[in-house]
Amino acid sequence: MKRCLLTLLWLRLAAAATPVVTKVEPPDWPAEPHAITLRILLTGTDLEGATVHSAFRAGKATASTSGTHLFFDLTIPPSAHAGSYPLRVATAAGMVEAPFALVPALAPEGRFAGFSSDDVMYLIMPDRFADGDPSNDDPAISRGLFDRSNPRFYHGGDFAGIIQRLPYLKSLGVTALWLTPIYDNNNRLNGRRGGRGSTDYHGYGAVDFYAVDEHLGTLDQFRELVDRAHAAGIKIIQDQVANHTGPSHPWVIDPPTPTPTWFHGTLQQHSTNTFRIWTIPDGHATPETRRTTLDGWFAGSLPDLNQDDPETRRYLIQNALWWIGRTGIDGIRQDTLPYAPRGFWQDWSAAIEQRYPKFRIVGEVFDSDPSLEAYFQGGRKMDGVDTGIDTLFDFPLYSVIRKVFTGAAHTTELPRLLAHDYLYEDPTRLITFVGNHDTARFLNEPNATVDGLERVFTFLMTVRGLPLIYYGDEIGMRGGGDPDNRRDFPGGWQDDPRNAFEASGRTAEENALFDRVQRLTHLHAVLEPLRHGKLVDLLVDNDRYAFARVMPADRVLVVFNNGDGQAALRIPLSGSGIADGVRLQDQLGVGPPVETQGGVAEVRMAARSAAIYY
């Protein structure tokens, strides 16, 4: 019997394997002047029963049932200096070292600055903007995903290309760049579409939240982009996705937590998001209806993270802090905001604000109802929760802008929508826009014209909020629905037949539009009322709209004629602060000067035109 027991023990020990660690999350952390406790996630094999030893205090480790993941706390004292601090992971079968490091903390000067109505934001999909480093077009790890002729494959745009075009962006008047996600994405083709397959060139199919996609560059190159942009006076806003992973993330097959709650559901059994945002604040909605919106997988295929799981919640909060601290970015654009619990956003935003008080967050709530948009803006409690989300994209106004400036709606719809500003905690923080990577280009709308787009930009640069330009709209790029709305910027590639980054490479129409946008961003920068003034409606009818932006010692008059004929307008100035006997000049150089008298400004407007009087 004794010999049999010894044999069984020997066989059990022989079967046990030395632990293997293939990934450490986070892989490093800034050496900060205060104590911090990190939640470390190790990925590997044979991690059951493991203990972790470090130069710092490591807490009790908890392994997943598969033995492929291990969680533990690592407490770093304020005295710790930057350097390498390997983690020793031991089981009865052996010990292995895993890398971990403290890196020098970034100086806060010129970083983590946030954004405001003083800025002009520019949205770039890095893969489609400019290819500055052809060597990463078709990396070995993901060979075969590069094909500029296929609108769903990688096209080669990268961080190097954006760096090279910073002078162009600076000349346009851009002060903040929003980049779609730069996470490492799937390295193979997704499901077949039209017989050619598709890739995650857009960045929204993350397979690693601590890595940069190899098609775009490296973490160090992203750091260089941030630093170079800051040197040019341009802020960087990172697109983050805390709602879901990509369908090919390793977690989908093997989630990290000891309990099966890292995701809502499994690959084999899950609900599909119904996108019914209105059910979240709706007191009449059933819990099941609300749950489908919060817990359903986006498009039925993007695995929905469970932010109510304490491990998932802590992972996502810590990941956001890592990206900020390691790169020096100034803001975050948070994708699909309504589909995660409001309580999570409260904790997530509070952790960021505590460490980076000037940092700012903008959330995506893709809905045209201003009451739903306002529900998610932070600064006040709704249903007992303050999300802490600084601002939102103004999708309700976006919808109206498209209709008005293509002639599908009367001009009165603009002030009618703006009348809902009382719903927001702070409407002056809203980001105004006419298009993004999820919508068809404005010029693809029925009856859209270039002069209509000029009026759109005039409105965006003069109305309350922070104006956003979608890359290429400043030269009137066309494009229908996804992915046609994500065409390559002409001139971003060495073999392009023309270079629209330079005036000589643009058509007459493109140059006229670019010059108008450039002039408008300049006016936005130098006329303070356009950034901070109170908006006062002065004249509203079916085809005309005039408003003033008013400050105690300064004001601007903005006038639109959206009709097909010339207009002679008598604009009452009551409430505008504009006195009699003032000579107003059109800052766009279109209309003649205007003399105010009798509390009225008499303005003559050409058909389908706009003017900014100062």
507-542 pLDDT per residue, tens:
999 999 999 999 999 999 999 999 999 999 999 999
pLDDT score for 9? 39
pLDDT score for 121? 98
Mean pLDDT of all residues belonging to the chain = 95
Question: How many Cβ atoms sit within 10 Å of the Cβ of residue 528?
Answer: 16
21-57 pLDDT per residue, tens:
999 999 999 999 999 999 999 999 999 999 999 999 9
Question: How many Cβ atoms sit within 10 Å of the Cβ of residue 184?
Answer: 24
pLDDT at 6 over 80: no
pLDDT at 1 over 70: no
Of residues 49 and 190, more confidently modeled: 49
DSSP H or E stretch at residue 395: helix 395-404
Name the nearest CA neighbour of 157 among 85, 198, 118, 213. Answer: 213
Name the nearest CA neighbour of 311 among 603, 25, 21. Answer: 25
Mean pLDDT of 554-583: 97
Pairing between β-strand 360-363 and β-strand 391-392 as defined by DSSP bridges: parallel
- Tell me how far apart the alpha carbons of residues 222 and 159 are, in angstroms, rounded to a whole number: 6
Chain mean position to CA 376 = 16
pLDDT at 486 over 80: yes
10-23 pLDDT per residue, tens:
444 445 699 999 99
Phi-psi region of 479 (alpha: psi -120 to 50; beta: other; left: phi over 0): left
pLDDT at 92 over 50: yes
Task: Quote the tokens at residue 571.
Answer: 């604009």
- Tell me how far apart the alpha carbons of residues 24 and 257 are, in angstroms, rounded to a whole number: 15
pLDDT score for 494? 96
pLDDT at 588 over 80: yes
pLDDT band at 257 (very low <50, low <70, confident <90, very high): confident
Query: Where are the CATH 2.60.40.1180 domain residues in the chain?
Result: 534-613
Q: Lowest-pLDDT range, 150-159, 193-202, 377-386, 483-492?
A: 193-202
Half-sphere exposure of 614 (CA within 13 A, CB side): 19
pLDDT score for 197? 83
The CATH T-level fold of domain 534-613 is Immunoglobulin-like (2.60.40)
Residues facing 393 on adjacent strands: 431
Q: Which residues contact 158 (CB under 8 A, 6 or more apart)?
A: 126, 127, 130, 131, 132, 133, 136, 215, 216, 217, 221
- Burial, 436: exposed, middle or buried (Cβ in 10 Å; 0-12, 13-18, 19+)? buried
Residues 407, 455: contact at Cβ < 8 Å? Answer: no
CATH number for the region 121-252+305-491 comes to 3.20.20.80
Q: What count of residues does the chain have? A: 614
- Tell me how far apart the alpha carbons of residues 591 and 605 are, in angstroms, rounded to a whole number: 7
SS3 365: coil
Query: Residue 26: is the preceding peptide bond cis (ω within 30°)?
Result: yes
Mean pLDDT of 603-614: 97
pLDDT score for 46? 97
pLDDT score for 211? 98
CATH number for the region 17-104 comes to 2.60.40.10
- Tell me how far apart the alpha carbons of residues 225 and 460 are, in angstroms, rounded to a whole number: 27
pLDDT score for 396? 98
pLDDT at 194 over 70: no
Mean pLDDT of 424-440: 98
Q: Lowest-pLDDT range, 4-8, 338-342, 359-363, 366-370?
A: 4-8
Residues 46, 122: contact at Cβ < 8 Å? Answer: no
pLDDT at 73 over 70: yes
Query: Residue 338: is the preceding peptide bond cis (ω within 30°)?
Result: no
DSSP 329-349: --EEEETTGGGS-HHHHHHHH
pLDDT score for 15? 52
Give how far Cα 59 sits from Cα of 40, 70, 73, 90, 421, Å. 10, 12, 5, 14, 49
Record the pTM: 0.96
Q: Give phi and psi for 312, each to the nearest 5.
A: -65, -45
Q: Lowest-pLDDT range, 247-261, 276-290, 359-373?
A: 247-261
Half-sphere exposure of 419 (CA within 13 A, CB side): 8
SS3 297: strand
pLDDT score for 13? 44
pLDDT at 8 over 70: no
SS3 530: helix
Residues 242, 320: contact at Cβ < 8 Å? Answer: yes
Any long-range contacts for 542-549 (C-beta under 8 Å, 24+ apart)?
542/410, 542/411, 542/412, 543/410, 543/411, 543/567, 544/411, 544/569, 544/605, 545/411, 545/412, 545/414, 545/415, 546/571, 546/603, 547/415, 547/463, 548/573, 548/575, 548/576, 548/577, 548/578, 549/462, 549/464
- Tell me how far apart the alpha carbons of residues 42 and 21 are, in angstroms, rounded to a whole number: 7
Residues 19, 94: contact at Cβ < 8 Å? Answer: yes
- Tell me how far apart the alpha carbons of residues 354 and 567 are, in angstroms, rounded to a whole number: 53
DSSP 57-120: EE---EE-TTSSEEEEEEEE-TTPPSEE-PEEEEETTEEEEE--EEEEPPPSTTSS----TT--
Mean pLDDT of 373-402: 97
pLDDT at 239 over 60: yes
To the nearest 10 degrees (0 to 180), the angle between helices 342-355 and 310-327 is 30
Residues 19, 32: contact at Cβ < 8 Å? Answer: no
- Tell me how far apart the alpha carbons of residues 452 and 456 are, in angstroms, rounded to a whole number: 6
Q: Which residues contact 377 (CB under 8 A, 6 or more apart)?
A: 387, 389, 390, 391, 392, 424, 425, 426, 429
* Residue at token pair 């008005």: 404
Which residues does the annotation mark as catalytic? 335, 364
Query: Where are the CATH 3.20.20.80 domain residues in the chain?
Result: 121-252+305-491
Query: Where are the CATH 2.60.40.10 domain residues in the chain?
Result: 17-104
Residues 227, 328: contact at Cβ < 8 Å? Answer: yes
pLDDT band at 190 (very low <50, low <70, confident <90, very high): confident
